[in-house]
Amino acid sequence: MEPLEPVPSSKPQPSSRPKWTITEIFDELRELTVLELADVQRYIMRVRAARGDRPSPELVSKILVDVAHFHATYAYHVPISLIRARHADVPRTMLDLALFDAETRDLLRMEPVQLPAPFVEVGAGIPHERGLLYWIVPYTP
């Protein structure tokens, strides 16, 4: 949302049109390198995680490490219930968001279970349009 009044720009203006703060931010971002932009993105993710509405990059990394660890024991699929047990101090919704964030970034894949299955803890899965997501498969390039 644009502010009601423009903020004066610190850079010389080729035109007399006032420059908005968001426009200055975009101009600055365009001048950053890819590595600098990655740092900015990590900072943004940490700020949003501190607000409590997004998972932190650290949580996503811990989950990926745990999935890789359990993947050595479980042949193909890692049950989500093991990750939930490993991160019992993390709220369920935040853990689900972290799993979806990792899946969106192609760091892992969640697969639905075929019900009925006697060994499945239905409450441990994630209800989704794809079915009850219960298995985690690490991403392999």
14-32 pLDDT, tens digit each: 556 666 788 888 888 899 9
DSSP secondary structure letter of residue 122: G
Alpha carbon distance 14, 17 (integer Å): 9
| 138 & 75 share domain | yes
The verdict on residue 2 lying in a domain is: no
| Domain with 87 in it | 55-141
Q: Could you tell me if residue 5 is inside a domain?
A: no
pTM value > 0.85: no
Q: Is the dihedral of CA 56, 61, 67, 69 positive or negative?
A: negative
In tens, the pLDDT along 67-98 reads 999 988 887 889 999 999 999 998 898 999 99
Residue 12 within any structural domain of the chain: no
Among 54, 69, 99, where does a domain finish?
A: 54
Q: Which of 38, 54, 70 is the last residue of a domain?
A: 54
- Number of separate domains in the chain: 2
The verdict on residue 86 lying in a domain is yes
